[in-house]
Amino acid sequence: MKKILYCALIALVTLSCTEKEKETRKFVDVEGLSPSIKPGDNFFMYVNGTWYDTAKIADDQSGVGSYSFLNIPQKVLLQNILEEVAAGTHPEGSVEQKVGDFYASGMDSTAINQRGYEPIQPVLAKIEAINDKASLMRFVADEAKVGNNSIFNFRVSPDDKNSTINIAHFSQAGIGLPDRDYYFKTDVSTLGIQNAYKAYIARLFELTGDAPADATRKADLVYGIETQLAASHKTRIERRQVRNNYHKLAVADLQKKQPNIGWGDLLNNLGLDTDTVDIRQPVYYDKLNTMLQSVSINDWKVYLKATTISAYDPYLSRPFEQASFEYNKALSGQSMEKPREQEIAQVVDRQLSFALGQLYVKRHFGEDAKKRVGELVDNLQKAFENRINNLSWMSDSTKVQAKEKLNAITKKLGYPDIWREYNVTIDRDQYFENVVALKKDDYQYQIGKLNKPPYKHEWGTSPSTVTAYYNPSFNEIVFPAGILQYPYFDLYADDAINYGGIGMVIGHELTHAFDDQGAQYDKDGNVKNWWTDEDYKKFNEKTQLLIDRYSTFTVLDSVHVKGAMTIGENTADNGGISIAYDAFKLTKQGQDTTKIDGFTPDQRFFLSIARIWRVKTRDEFMRTYVNTNSHSPAMWRVNGPLMNFTPFYEAFNVQPGDKNYKPEEERIKIW
C-alpha cells in the first residue's frame, strides 16, 4: 500500500513530502511559541498563543485547529475521492458505484430544489391519517425504521450485565434542543437559542403550507410538548451512573405498566422478537405513557409533523436547508453555510461510512503507520501496568483485577478487518430515495444483531474520522486511520512528538477503561463490581477531587467547565499524560537529554501535548459545547492535567507564584 506522509504544519492539509523535506521538518512550531507567557501560567497559550491570536475561523465553520476540526481538511480529502469516483464508470453494485452515485445524487441541487418537499408528502399524509394512539404508535415505529426517532430512541447492543448477547435498549427522546436543560434555563444566551428553535419549527410549518400565524401557533404547541418530555429526562450527569441507567424488564410487565405505549405491538411493528428490553430511563417512558393520554391526538399530529420535517430537511430543497442553518447559527455562531460539496461529503461519510472508508484507506493510509502505532499501544499498555503496580491507594486484590482488564483490552488500528457491506441499490438521480434506502438498510443491519453475540469486528466510527474511542462493552480501544496523522502521529517524528501526541491519546483511551464509567465494567464488558469496597471508595474520593478542580475553570465570562459531566474525559486526560510519559521514558530518546530545536526530549513531549489540542472556536459554539460535551475545552485538556503532573513542573521550571502552580500535595493523581 502506498505510503503517505502528512505534512500538516502549514495548513493542516495532507500533502506528500519529499525526502529532503523529511530531513528538515520541524515538529515543534518554535516561531509560534509565546515567550511573553510563562509555561506555568498558561501552557496552552504559551505553545499556541501566537497561532490562536492570528488564526481565522472561516465563515462557514464554527472553529479551526486540531482534534474534531481536523475533520475539516479530512472532508476535502473525501471530497476529492468522491469527485473522482462520481466522474467514473464502475460496475453496478461496486463500492465505487454506490459511493460515487450517492455523492452525485446529492450534488444535483437543481433536481432536489425542483422537488421541494414532495418527497415527504406521503409521510405527512400518513400523519394526517392518524386517528388514535394505536395508529400514532404504528407511525412512530414505521418512521424509526428509516432513522426518524421521535418519541423514543432505540438501539441494539450488548446487555450491560451479559456482554455475550445483544439486546434492545430504549432511552429518553422527544426533544429538539441539544439537551433537556435548554428548556428550563433563562439566561440571555439560552433564551436566544430557544427563540431560534421556535422560529425554525415555525418556518418548517410555513414551508409545508401553513400561514405564518398558524405556523407560529403550532411551533409553540410543539415546544410545549417537548418541554413536558424534557422535564422527565435525566441530566447528562445522572446518565453517567451506568447501573442507574439499566433496567431490563419483561415486555409483559411493561405492557401492563404503560398500556398507552402498547409495548407488544410496538416491538412487533419494529420487527423485534424479544420478551425483554432494557429501559434506560424509565421515568421518561412513564411520562410518555401519561402524555399519550393527556395530549390530544391532533396535538400529537402537529408534534409528529414537526419532528418528521426536521428529520428530513437536510435532504429537501434549499429553503429547508436554510431554515436548519438559521437555527444552527444560534448554536455554533457559524455565519455562512458550508459549500454543498462539504455537506454532501459529510452525508456520504455518515451513511456509507465503511464504503467510503475503504477508498480513503487505499489512498491515504500506510501499513507502516499502523505497525508503528501498534508498537506505541503495546508500550503504553506495559507502562500502565507498571503504574497500577505502583499505586499506593489500591489494594493488591484490586490490582490483580485491574491488570487482567488492562491486558484483555482489544486494540483496533486504522480500519476494520471486515468491511461492512450495504445492501442497497443507489440511483444517481434519486437523492432522497437513496438516503431513505440507506437508512432502511442501516436499521435492518442493527436489528439483525438482536439476540446474537456482538460483532466483535464492528467499528463505531468511520476510518477517516479524526477521533479515537474506548468501548466498555467490548473492552476495546479504537484508533481510526484519520487520527493517525500529524499533529497526533508522524512516522518520521521523534518519539517525544509521537508519545506526546498519539501516545497521550492512546493513554487517554486506555484510562477510559478505568474512569468513572469504565470502572463499572469488568474485563469481559459486563457491569460488575471488581473492586474492594475500600478501594472503590478511595477511587470515588479521588475523582471528586477532579470534579471540584475542573468546576473552577472558567471558559467564558461566568461559564465554567462542568466538572461532574466531564469527569470521565478529565480522568482520561490526566491518566493519558502520565501513562504516555512513562512509556516515553522507556525509549532511548526518553532517557536522553539531547536537545532538538532548543528543547529537551521532555520539553518536546509536553509541547506536543499542547499542540494536539490547538483549537479555536466561536463563543456560541463553546457555550453549546460546555453544556453538551463530555470533554473539557481544549485549553483545559492541556492546563488541567499538567498542573497535576510533577515532571511537567520540572521540565519547564514551574514555580510557586505561577498561575497554574499547585503544591505537591494538591496535585491530583488517580492512575
Is 34 a domain residue? no
Residues 251 and 385 in one domain: no
Cβ neighbours of residue 206 closer than 8 Å, sequence gap 6 or more: 212, 215
Q: Are 452 and 165 in contact (CB under 8 A)?
A: yes
Is 431 a domain residue? no
Q: What is the pLDDT of residue 79?
A: 95
Cβ neighbours of residue 495 closer than 8 Å, sequence gap 6 or more: 584, 587, 588, 589, 590, 601
Distinct helix (H) and strand (E) counts, the chain: 27, 11
Instruction: Give residue 546's domain range.
Output: 370-420+458-666
Write down the H helix ranges in 32-177.
Answer: 43-54, 71-87, 95-107, 109-115, 121-128, 133-144
Q: Are 188 and 172 in contact (CB under 8 A)?
A: no
Length of the chain: 671
- Which CATH number goes with the domain that contains 309? 1.10.1380.10
Residue found under cell 409533523: 305
Is 443 a domain residue? no
| CA 512 – CA 509 distance, rounded (Å) | 5
Grid cell in block for residue 582: 512513562
Grid cell in block for residue 472: 466498555
The continuous run of DSSP H or E covering 480 comes out as strand 476-480
- Which CATH number goes with the domain that contains 544? 3.40.390.10
Residues 155 and 287 in one domain: yes
Residues 147 and 251 in one domain: yes
Is 1 a domain residue? no
Is 168 a domain residue? yes
| CA 273 – CA 305 distance, rounded (Å) | 29
| CA 377 – CA 371 distance, rounded (Å) | 10
Is 437 a domain residue? no
Cβ neighbours of residue 363 closer than 8 Å, sequence gap 6 or more: 2, 4, 77, 81
Q: In 3-state terms, what secondary structure has residue 585? A: coil
Q: Are 297 and 136 in contact (CB under 8 A)?
A: yes
Q: What is the pLDDT of residue 25?
A: 61
Grid cell in block for residue 32: 509560534
| CA 90 – CA 92 distance, rounded (Å) | 6
Q: What is the pLDDT of residue 136?
A: 98
Residue found under cell 499501544: 377
Instruction: Tell me the CA distances in angstroms from 284 to 155, 289, 618, one per residue in order.
Output: 16, 9, 34
Residues 303 and 411 in one domain: no
Residues 226 and 132 in one domain: yes
Grid cell in block for residue 497: 512528538
| CA 171 – CA 149 distance, rounded (Å) | 11
Grid cell in block for residue 651: 521540565
Task: Specify the number of domains making up the chain.
Answer: 2
Residues 389 and 466 in one domain: yes
- Among 634, 630, 596, residue whose Cα is nearest residue 615: 634
Residues 312 and 374 in one domain: no
Amino acid residing at 272: L
Is 441 a domain residue? no
Is 81 a domain residue? no
- Among 283, 270, 279, residue whose Cα is nearest residue 249: 279
DSSP 285: H
Domain limit, last residue, from 316, 335, 357: 316
Residues 295 and 375 in one domain: no
Write down the H helix ranges in 333-489.
Answer: 340-351, 353-364, 367-389, 396-407, 431-447
- Quickly count: other Cβ atoms within 10 Å of residue 118's Cβ: 11
DSSP codes joined into one string, 589-655: GGG----BTTB-HHHHHHHHHHHHT-EEE-HHHHHHHHHH-SSPPHHHHHHHHHTT-HHHHHHHT--
Domain limit, last residue, from 281, 301, 316: 316
Q: In 3-state terms, what secondary structure has residue 527? A: strand
Residues 409 and 536 in one domain: yes
Residue found under cell 412513564: 286
Residues 244 and 378 in one domain: no
Identify the segments of the chain with pLDDT beneath 70: 1-25
| CA 603 – CA 581 distance, rounded (Å) | 11
Grid cell in block for residue 314: 437536510
Residue found under cell 438501539: 155
Residue 656 preceded by cis peptide, ω within 30: no
Q: In 3-state terms, what secondary structure has residue 63? A: strand
Residues 164 and 307 in one domain: yes
Q: Are 140 and 151 in contact (CB under 8 A)?
A: yes
Residues 308 and 389 in one domain: no
Residue 119 preceded by cis peptide, ω within 30: no
DSSP 337: P
